Amino acid sequence: MATTNDLKNGTVLRIDGQLWTVIEFQHVKPGKGGAFVRTKLKNVLSGKVVDKTFNAGLKVETANVDKRDMQYLYKDGTDYVFMDTDNYDQLHVSETTVGDASNFLLENQSAMVATNEGIPLYVELPPSVVLEITYTEPGLQGDRSTGGTKPATLETGHQIQVPLFLETGTRVKVDTRDSSYLGRVND
Protein backbone atom coordinates (compact mmCIF):
# COMPACT_ATOMS: atom_id res chain seq x y z
CA MET A 1 0.00 0.00 0.00
CA ALA A 2 1.08 3.57 -0.67
CA THR A 3 -0.56 6.99 -0.65
CA THR A 4 -1.29 9.16 -3.66
CA ASN A 5 1.54 11.44 -2.51
CA ASP A 6 4.01 8.60 -3.30
CA LEU A 7 2.94 8.23 -6.94
CA LYS A 8 5.65 8.34 -9.62
CA ASN A 9 5.68 7.68 -13.35
CA GLY A 10 5.88 3.94 -13.93
CA THR A 11 4.24 3.00 -10.61
CA VAL A 12 1.77 0.13 -11.10
CA LEU A 13 -1.50 0.35 -9.15
CA ARG A 14 -4.14 -2.30 -8.56
CA ILE A 15 -7.55 -0.64 -8.93
CA ASP A 16 -10.73 -2.77 -8.93
CA GLY A 17 -8.68 -5.91 -9.60
CA GLN A 18 -6.94 -4.48 -12.67
CA LEU A 19 -3.37 -3.27 -13.07
CA TRP A 20 -2.77 0.33 -14.17
CA THR A 21 0.57 2.09 -14.85
CA VAL A 22 0.93 5.76 -13.93
CA ILE A 23 1.92 7.61 -17.12
CA GLU A 24 1.53 11.16 -15.78
CA PHE A 25 0.67 12.68 -12.44
CA GLN A 26 0.21 16.17 -11.08
CA HIS A 27 -0.25 17.29 -7.49
CA VAL A 28 -2.82 20.10 -7.36
CA LYS A 29 -3.39 22.37 -4.37
CA PRO A 30 -6.25 24.73 -5.13
CA GLY A 31 -6.76 27.92 -3.10
CA LYS A 32 -9.92 26.48 -1.57
CA GLY A 33 -10.64 22.89 -0.67
CA GLY A 34 -8.36 19.91 -0.27
CA ALA A 35 -5.38 19.02 -2.41
CA PHE A 36 -5.71 16.27 -4.99
CA VAL A 37 -3.63 14.28 -7.47
CA ARG A 38 -4.59 14.26 -11.14
CA THR A 39 -3.26 11.15 -12.96
CA LYS A 40 -3.22 9.59 -16.39
CA LEU A 41 -3.31 5.79 -16.07
CA LYS A 42 -2.71 3.09 -18.69
CA ASN A 43 -4.25 -0.35 -18.30
CA VAL A 44 -1.32 -2.80 -18.33
CA LEU A 45 -3.21 -5.53 -20.21
CA SER A 46 -5.52 -3.65 -22.60
CA GLY A 47 -3.45 -0.49 -23.13
CA LYS A 48 -6.50 1.71 -22.50
CA VAL A 49 -5.61 5.17 -21.11
CA VAL A 50 -7.87 6.95 -18.60
CA ASP A 51 -7.69 10.11 -16.48
CA LYS A 52 -8.35 9.60 -12.77
CA THR A 53 -8.29 12.05 -9.88
CA PHE A 54 -7.44 10.98 -6.31
CA ASN A 55 -7.70 12.97 -3.08
CA ALA A 56 -4.25 13.76 -1.69
CA GLY A 57 -3.06 11.28 0.93
CA LEU A 58 -5.56 8.58 -0.16
CA LYS A 59 -4.28 5.01 0.25
CA VAL A 60 -3.81 3.15 -3.03
CA GLU A 61 -2.77 -0.45 -3.60
CA THR A 62 0.46 -0.84 -5.52
CA ALA A 63 1.29 -3.98 -7.47
CA ASN A 64 4.72 -5.53 -7.55
CA VAL A 65 5.82 -5.77 -11.18
CA ASP A 66 8.94 -7.80 -11.81
CA LYS A 67 10.78 -6.74 -14.99
CA ARG A 68 13.42 -9.20 -16.14
CA ASP A 69 15.73 -9.33 -19.10
CA MET A 70 14.87 -12.59 -20.85
CA GLN A 71 15.93 -14.35 -24.02
CA TYR A 72 13.33 -15.33 -26.63
CA LEU A 73 13.79 -19.01 -27.46
CA TYR A 74 11.03 -20.20 -29.81
CA LYS A 75 7.32 -20.16 -30.59
CA ASP A 76 5.28 -23.06 -29.20
CA GLY A 77 1.82 -23.06 -30.79
CA THR A 78 0.35 -19.66 -29.84
CA ASP A 79 2.84 -19.14 -26.99
CA TYR A 80 6.24 -17.49 -27.12
CA VAL A 81 8.83 -19.16 -24.88
CA PHE A 82 11.28 -16.91 -23.04
CA MET A 83 14.17 -17.97 -20.80
CA ASP A 84 15.38 -16.11 -17.73
CA THR A 85 19.12 -15.72 -18.35
CA ASP A 86 19.89 -15.79 -14.59
CA ASN A 87 18.26 -19.06 -13.54
CA TYR A 88 17.33 -20.62 -16.93
CA ASP A 89 13.62 -20.82 -16.00
CA GLN A 90 11.37 -20.85 -19.05
CA LEU A 91 8.24 -18.71 -19.26
CA HIS A 92 5.41 -19.21 -21.77
CA VAL A 93 3.90 -15.88 -22.86
CA SER A 94 0.67 -15.83 -24.89
CA GLU A 95 0.47 -14.28 -28.34
CA THR A 96 -1.92 -11.55 -27.12
CA THR A 97 0.47 -10.55 -24.30
CA VAL A 98 3.44 -10.34 -26.70
CA GLY A 99 1.34 -8.20 -29.09
CA ASP A 100 3.18 -6.11 -31.68
CA ALA A 101 6.56 -7.09 -30.21
CA SER A 102 6.19 -10.35 -32.19
CA ASN A 103 6.86 -8.35 -35.39
CA PHE A 104 10.45 -7.84 -34.28
CA LEU A 105 11.30 -10.98 -32.25
CA LEU A 106 14.05 -13.26 -33.48
CA GLU A 107 15.21 -16.41 -31.70
CA ASN A 108 17.89 -15.74 -29.04
CA GLN A 109 16.98 -12.02 -28.92
CA SER A 110 16.78 -10.26 -25.55
CA ALA A 111 13.55 -8.65 -24.37
CA MET A 112 12.22 -7.22 -21.11
CA VAL A 113 9.35 -9.35 -19.77
CA ALA A 114 7.20 -7.82 -17.01
CA THR A 115 5.36 -10.19 -14.67
CA ASN A 116 3.05 -9.80 -11.69
CA GLU A 117 2.80 -12.82 -9.37
CA GLY A 118 4.21 -15.01 -12.16
CA ILE A 119 1.68 -13.83 -14.75
CA PRO A 120 3.25 -12.20 -17.84
CA LEU A 121 1.90 -8.66 -18.35
CA TYR A 122 3.79 -7.37 -21.38
CA VAL A 123 6.98 -7.71 -23.42
CA GLU A 124 9.15 -4.65 -23.96
CA LEU A 125 11.74 -4.50 -26.74
CA PRO A 126 14.61 -2.05 -27.15
CA PRO A 127 13.54 1.13 -29.05
CA SER A 128 15.16 -0.20 -32.24
CA VAL A 129 16.29 -3.54 -33.65
CA VAL A 130 18.40 -4.59 -36.63
CA LEU A 131 16.71 -7.01 -39.04
CA GLU A 132 17.39 -8.28 -42.54
CA ILE A 133 15.09 -7.63 -45.51
CA THR A 134 14.11 -11.04 -46.89
CA TYR A 135 12.10 -9.70 -49.82
CA THR A 136 11.53 -6.41 -51.58
CA GLU A 137 11.04 -5.43 -55.23
CA PRO A 138 14.35 -4.64 -56.94
CA GLY A 139 15.31 -0.97 -57.00
CA LEU A 140 15.74 0.88 -60.29
CA GLN A 141 18.61 3.12 -61.34
CA GLY A 142 17.88 6.68 -60.24
CA ASP A 143 15.60 5.68 -57.32
CA ARG A 144 17.95 7.32 -54.83
CA SER A 145 16.79 10.84 -55.55
CA THR A 146 13.00 10.48 -55.50
CA GLY A 147 12.54 9.85 -51.75
CA GLY A 148 9.72 7.36 -52.35
CA THR A 149 9.16 4.17 -50.39
CA LYS A 150 8.23 0.57 -51.14
CA PRO A 151 7.12 -2.38 -48.98
CA ALA A 152 9.80 -4.75 -47.67
CA THR A 153 9.37 -8.00 -45.75
CA LEU A 154 11.70 -8.50 -42.77
CA GLU A 155 13.13 -11.82 -41.57
CA THR A 156 10.38 -11.96 -38.90
CA GLY A 157 7.71 -11.81 -41.63
CA HIS A 158 6.69 -8.25 -40.70
CA GLN A 159 6.32 -5.74 -43.54
CA ILE A 160 7.58 -2.14 -43.35
CA GLN A 161 8.11 0.76 -45.78
CA VAL A 162 11.71 1.35 -46.90
CA PRO A 163 13.41 3.70 -49.40
CA LEU A 164 13.31 2.56 -53.02
CA PHE A 165 17.08 1.89 -53.31
CA LEU A 166 17.18 -0.87 -50.65
CA GLU A 167 17.47 -4.46 -51.84
CA THR A 168 16.79 -7.95 -50.51
CA GLY A 169 19.49 -9.01 -48.03
CA THR A 170 20.10 -5.49 -46.69
CA ARG A 171 20.20 -5.17 -42.89
CA VAL A 172 18.11 -2.27 -41.60
CA LYS A 173 17.45 -0.58 -38.26
CA VAL A 174 13.71 -0.50 -37.40
CA ASP A 175 11.85 1.46 -34.71
CA THR A 176 9.94 -1.12 -32.60
CA ARG A 177 7.32 1.43 -31.50
CA ASP A 178 5.94 2.42 -34.93
CA SER A 179 7.63 0.05 -37.46
CA SER A 180 9.43 2.94 -39.15
CA TYR A 181 12.67 2.52 -41.08
CA LEU A 182 15.58 4.21 -39.26
CA GLY A 183 18.48 3.46 -41.57
CA ARG A 184 20.70 0.93 -43.26
CA VAL A 185 23.20 -1.04 -41.15
CA ASN A 186 26.59 -1.82 -42.66
CA ASP A 187 28.16 -4.86 -41.01
Decide: 124 and 156 in contact? Cβ < 8 Å.
no
* Alpha-carbon gap, residue 38 to 27, rounded angstroms: 6
Q: Do 137 and 111 have their domain in common?
A: no
Residue at which a domain ends, from 104, 124, 144: 124
Q: Do 73 and 88 have their domain in common?
A: yes
Q: Do 40 and 75 have their domain in common?
A: no
Q: What is the mean pLDDT of residues 94-106?
A: 87
Decide: 179 and 103 in contact? Cβ < 8 Å.
yes
CATH number of 44's domain: 2.30.30.30
Q: What is the mean pLDDT of residues 1-27?
A: 86
Q: Do 132 and 120 have their domain in common?
A: no
Decide: 1 and 61 in contact? Cβ < 8 Å.
yes
Residues 6+ apart with CB under 8 A from 87: none
Q: What is the mean pLDDT of residues 16-21?
A: 87
Predicted confidence band of residue 159 (pLDDT cuts 50, 70, 90): very high
CATH number of 145's domain: 2.40.50.140
Predicted confidence band of residue 171 (pLDDT cuts 50, 70, 90): very high
Looking at the predicted structure, is the pLDDT value of residue 142 above 80?
A: no
Q: What is the pLDDT of residues 20-50, one digit of tens each?
A: 888 899 988 888 888 899 999 988 877 788 9
Q: Tell me the residue type at 145.
A: S
Decide: 185 and 166 in contact? Cβ < 8 Å.
no
Average pLDDT, the chain: 87
* Alpha-carbon gap, residue 114 to 67, rounded angstroms: 4
Residue at which a domain ends, from 124, 145, 168: 124
Q: What is the pLDDT of residue 39?
A: 92
Q: What is the pLDDT of residues 54-86, one digit of tens each?
A: 988 889 898 888 888 999 999 999 999 999 988
Domain count, the chain: 3
Q: Do 14 and 32 have their domain in common?
A: yes
Looking at the predicted structure, is the pLDDT value of residue 141 above 70?
A: no
DSSP one-letter string for 12-66: EEEETTEEEEEEEEEEE--SSS--EEEEEEEETTT--EEEEEEETT-EE-B---E
Looking at the predicted structure, is the pLDDT value of residue 143 above 70?
A: no
The domain in which residue 103 lies consists of 66-124
If DSSP codes are grouped into helix, strand and coil, which group holds residue 100?
A: helix
Predicted confidence band of residue 137 (pLDDT cuts 50, 70, 90): confident
Q: Do 120 and 133 have their domain in common?
A: no
* Alpha-carbon gap, residue 17 to 24, rounded angstroms: 21
Residue at which a domain ends, from 60, 75, 104: 60
Looking at the predicted structure, is the pLDDT value of residue 13 above 60?
A: yes
Give the angle 179-108-88 at the CA atoms, nearest 5°.
Answer: 130
Q: What is the pLDDT of residue 167?
A: 86
Predicted confidence band of residue 173 (pLDDT cuts 50, 70, 90): very high
